[in-house]
Amino acid sequence: MKLSNFGFNLPEELLAEYPAENRDESRLMVLNRKEQTIEHKMFKDLIDYFDEEDVLILNNTKVFPARLYGNKEKTGARIEVFLLRELNEEQRLWDVLVDPARKIRIGNKLYFGDDDTLVAEVIDNTTSRGRTLRFLYDGSYTEFRRKLNELGETPLPKYIKRDVEPDDEDRYQTIYAKNEGAVAAPTAGLHFSKHLLKRLEIKGVDFAEVTLHVGLGTFNPVEVEDLSKHKMDSEELKIDEKAVHIVNKGIENKRRVCAVGTTAMRAIESSVSSNGKLNEIDGWTNKFIFPPYDFSIANCMITNFHTPKSTLLMMVSAFAGHDFIKKAYEEAVKEKYKFYSYGDAMLII
């Protein structure tokens, strides 16, 4: 499989600028791999496809307000700073992206907030847009993190052209988000309402929670035609004993084991034992899944509609079959499904 196999034309009006009014009322395309059929449903109809002791694997990462705006010393130029990951808690060192990058050099200072109480010094260049910042703040670490949260805004994807609105803070977060650390939401989970989760629970569906802190690497463009040469950025991953027990019981009982989103799928496929069971892990993963690929854990997947030539589309193609996904996406465009973070969803069984 080559990069060029994953291109398609996506009309701009199909990019979802806003989410569905109610979480579980986005549309749902259901792909049956065995029958090669496509059905059109609502997301809340998901309950019809799951029975007692089936398993849903949820990524419980929580998005933090990673986008800050500061002013450069002397010139006062407005600079966007996107927090990627904390490198050192004690020294308050962070990996960030800056925009415009050409103006930001080692030694520059950036000032944040109306009162300039938060200052950052550029101490290293990491990539063309990447920098390492040391934050200077008179206060405890807890107060510093509170200040970051206060000054930061919800990091909506760049393709959403509108400004961030108050509703985004809640809506660009799954209802089961717990462990802060992601710079982007695991978007397949955005479709679950409390009501739908409760109905699934009453039906006897089991939930296994894993944590994969989504980084921007997920969205980095693939720039090589030969996919085997693409390198994914590492993302922090944690799967505990409780999740392992629930998932492996589902596998042993031959139940439907469903990864909610590409991040949940990458998490579980990053920690597989030699006998095809899930293992505990507390570490990092840079796993890149593209066709052909044999999946070990999940036999079902919920996902959104993804960008052309993205690593997310490649994973979904590996799971459902490239030709079947191509057909499904053509149908999605024809039926005017909404794409990307706030878009509609797909269930692959």
* Dihedrals phi, psi of 21, to nearest 5 degrees: -60, -45
C-alpha of 219 from chain center:
9
Is 289 or 154 the better-scoring residue by pLDDT?
Answer: 289
> Quick check: helix, strand or coil at residue 211?
strand
pLDDT tens string 125-146 = 887 788 999 999 888 999 999 9
Nearest-angstrom CA–CA distance, 241 and 281:
9
Residue 216 C-beta-side C-alpha neighbours within 13 Å: 17
Q: Whole-prediction pTM value?
A: 0.92
pLDDT(184) > 80: yes
Nearest-angstrom CA–CA distance, 200 and 205:
6
Is 160 or 239 the better-scoring residue by pLDDT?
Answer: 239
Q: Say what the pLDDT of residue 171 is.
A: 95
Q: Say what the pLDDT of residue 219 is.
A: 72
The mean pLDDT value for 188-217 works out to 96
Q: Say what the pLDDT of residue 233 is.
A: 86
H/E stretch holding 151 reads helix 141-151
pLDDT tens string 206-226 = 999 999 999 877 777 899 999
With a pLDDT cut of 70, the percent of the chain lying above it is: 100
pLDDT tens string 71-87 = 998 888 999 999 988 99
pLDDT(17) > 80: yes
Q: Say what the pLDDT of residue 10 is.
A: 93
Edge to edge, the sheet with strand 206-212 lists: 37-42, 27-32, 345-348, 300-304, 257-260, 55-59, 206-212, 235-239, 281-285
Q: What angle do CA 161, 164, 170 make, to 5 degrees?
A: 130
The mean pLDDT value for 44-62 works out to 98
Q: Which segments of 235-339 does DSSP mark as H helices, in order?
A: 241-252, 262-269, 311-320, 322-334
Helical axes 311-320 vs 262-269, angle rounded to 10°: 70
pLDDT tens string 219-256 = 778 999 999 999 998 999 999 999 999 999 999 999 99
The mean pLDDT value for 290-316 works out to 96
Cβ-contact 33, 19 below 8 angstroms: no
Q: Say what the pLDDT of residue 128 is.
A: 79
Query: With bands split at pLDDT 50, 70 and 90, how would you rate the model's confidence at 49?
Result: very high
Please, what's the b/e burial string for 77-107 (b: 16 or more CB within 10 A of its CB; e: otherwise)?
Answer: eebebbbbbeeeeeebbbbbbbeebeebeee
Q: Say what the pLDDT of residue 199 is.
A: 98
Of 117, 127, 116, whose CA–CA distance to 231 is shortest?
A: 127
> Quick check: helix, strand or coil at residue 119?
strand
